[in-house]
Amino acid sequence: MNTETRTCQNCKQPFVIEPDDFAFYERLEIPPPTWCFMCRVVRRMCFRNERTLYKRRCDALGHNEELISIFSPGNTQRVYDHAAWWGDGWDPLTYGRGIDFSRPFLEQVKELWKEVPDVALMNINPVNSEYCSITEGNKNCYLVFGGDFNENTSYSTYAFNSKECMDTYWVSKSEYNYETVDCISCVRLLWSRYCEGCYDSAFLFNCRNCHDCFGCSNLSNQSFQIFNAQYSKDGYFEKLKEFDFSDHRKLSEIKEQFNTHKLGYPCRFAHIIHSTNSTGDNLEDSKNCRQCFDIFGGGEDCARVWLAYSKIKDILDCDRVGLNTELAVDCSTLYPGSKIYFSRFIFEAHDIHYSYNIHNAAYLFGCVGVRGKQYCILNKQYTKEEYEVLVPKIREHMNAMPYADVKGRVYKYGEFFPPEFSPFAYNETVAQELVTLTEEEVRERGYVWRKVEERNYSVTMKPDTIPSSISEVSDSILTEVIGCEHEGACAEQCATAFRITPSELAFYRKMKIPLPHLCPSCRHFQRVKQRNPLILWERSCECAGGFSGKGNYKNAVAHSHGVEKCPNKFQTTYSPDRPEIVYCESCYQAEVV
């Protein structure tokens, strides 16, 4: 089997299928994909609404109470609250139906999906944390998404085991963090990225075990530095008075200065730790993983996996995978599973095809909401013998009579669900974060766009009238409806306006931080933009001996390759046209002081 280049059915761009991929597809008896990697990721993300919350009524029998939900009031999906969905008051198999071989099988799955009740919100065991989604064990949290076991934390996504944090993204085991991204075990850290074990600092990039540092890059075990210049302890605090980030206008100047400063220091080509024969970014304890991103706790023999933990194995084209999951293809959200194909939201399951929201089950094909069952098709119970006869027939039927969507894209066996099956609009989902599109672009590509509903409030304070310094802000700010600086003109799910909560104001005052000028959603999108895309480019190390290839950085020490240009090549998420200085692992490590 040789490398083969094909044309993506969706974006019409060429993409490559590697020999290892063909071997894996042959082993599992599934066909190669017809969509390229990024189109496959976006297709799955069209089904994942993390952050867009609504109030609507519960549809369970005997219920009519208002609840918080990821499904809008106008959404036709039948929605139950958490207790009702998990209760014994309904049976998913009552929605079962026989297979109609005169119609595309996926068309029948689509009809079933719309009828079977879904959970209004996945928010497990919250304590005073009602406005959180895809979370567990949060206490006194507000608008935390995809994060677990946090306390007194707000406006954060993928925050774990953290306290008193606000406006964070991919942060764990931290306290009093603000506007930090990809940080671990940090305390009182502000406006920073890729830091671990740092405290009492602000504006750090790629720093480890540092304290009392400001505006620095690539430091390890350092203190009392400002823009990578060393000061005495007294000199540090005296110099720090020049940087008043409690004032919004001055903060903007500091951000610009820091962004310019950090471009003068080399970046690590990728964060790949304790891993062998692996490519991608943010990988730990991985082996033979290709084009993978955000794998923690171990992965082996995987390709194109995004966001996984706890020893996954033999997985292709999946995201949100954990707990020893193995043998899965083109799936989203598996905890754990084995032999899972083209499915989403699968928990404790085995041998599942084209199914959604499955728990503690096995041998299902085209099922929705099934719990604790085996050998079901379209939510109808079969014997083991009947099931094993029908499954090959369904696969043949899916190839002979495939589903075609509104754009004419064909879905034979081997493709994930068509985006039009999603109960969410494109701009309600994570897809909009990965590939941000305008309404016109969304409709042109055959996706659904949700127009912002008319708000029943009036803006009482425009962003340009917000007091510049936090010291000037009175408690009356709690009564104001503040207009977002973007005014809904962006494609970032802008809320157009926002309020300041009492706990939020107390946090800003304690940390001496000025009030934000963007709504929570637009702030989130700015943090998302700090992370590199899920795309790899072939590049060479930019270390040219004693200096970087651009000539804007002088190496601190001699490298192993001497005065000659570093010969190392790699795959990196930094595109060649970006301004950062990109070093290989050995050259980067030599420069971290």
| pLDDT tens-place string over residues 543-586 | 999 999 888 999 999 999 999 999 999 999 999 999 999 999 99
Residue 241 to residue 235: CA distance in whole angstroms: 10
Helices (H), 46-196: 82-86, 105-115
User: Kindly report the CA angle at 25 between 19 and 26, in degrees rounded to 5?
Assistant: 90
DSSP 383-416: -HHHHHHHHHHHHHHHHHS-EE-TT--EE-TT-P
pLDDT given for residue 151 in this prediction: 98
Among the candidates 528, 549, 564, a domain finishes at 528
What number of helices (H) and strands (E) belong to the chain? 12, 37
DSSP 100-129: -TTS-HHHHHHHHHHHS-EES--EES-BS-
Q: DSSP state, 197?
A: S
Report the residue count for the chain.
Answer: 593
504 and 572 both lie in a single domain: no
The confidence band for 593, taking pLDDT boundaries of 50, 70 and 90, is low
Beta strands at 223-226 and 286-290: parallel, antiparallel or unpaired: unpaired
574 is a domain residue: yes
180 and 245 both lie in a single domain: yes
pLDDT at 207 over 70: yes
83 is a domain residue: no
514 and 479 both lie in a single domain: yes
What residue numbers bound the domain in which 581 lies? 536-593
The average pLDDT across 234-262 equals: 96
550 and 505 both lie in a single domain: no
377 is a domain residue: no
**Residues forming a β-bridge with 17:** 4
The confidence band for 456, taking pLDDT boundaries of 50, 70 and 90, is confident
- The model carries a pTM of 0.95
Distances in Å between the Cα of 352 and the Cα atoms of 117, 347, 372, 374 are: 19, 11, 13, 10
Among the candidates 414, 444, 474, a domain finishes at 444
pLDDT given for residue 452 in this prediction: 78
Residue pLDDT, tens place only, 71-119: 999 899 999 999 999 999 999 999 999 999 999 999 999 999 999 999 9
403 is a domain residue: no
295 is a domain residue: no
Residue pLDDT, tens place only, 503-541: 999 999 999 999 999 999 999 999 999 999 999 999 999
179 and 250 both lie in a single domain: yes
500 is a domain residue: yes
Q: Which two tokens stand for residue 470?
A: 């936090």
188 and 250 both lie in a single domain: yes
Computed over every residue of the chain, the mean pLDDT equals 96
Alpha-carbon Rg for the chain in angstroms = 25
Beta-carbon contacts of 188 under 8 Å, excluding residues fewer than 6 positions away, are 175, 176, 177, 199, 200, 201, 511
The average pLDDT across 485-497 equals: 94
540 is a domain residue: yes
515 and 576 both lie in a single domain: no
Distances in Å between the Cα of 393 and the Cα atoms of 105, 108, 474 are: 11, 15, 69
pLDDT at 453 over 90: no
Residue 186 to residue 205: CA distance in whole angstroms: 13
pLDDT given for residue 457 in this prediction: 85
Q: What is the largest CA-CA distance in the chain?
A: 81
Number of domains forming the structure of the chain: 4
Tell me the one-letter amino acid at 90: W
238 is a domain residue: yes
520 and 472 both lie in a single domain: yes
Among the candidates 444, 479, 505, a domain finishes at 444
Residue 479 to residue 264: CA distance in whole angstroms: 44
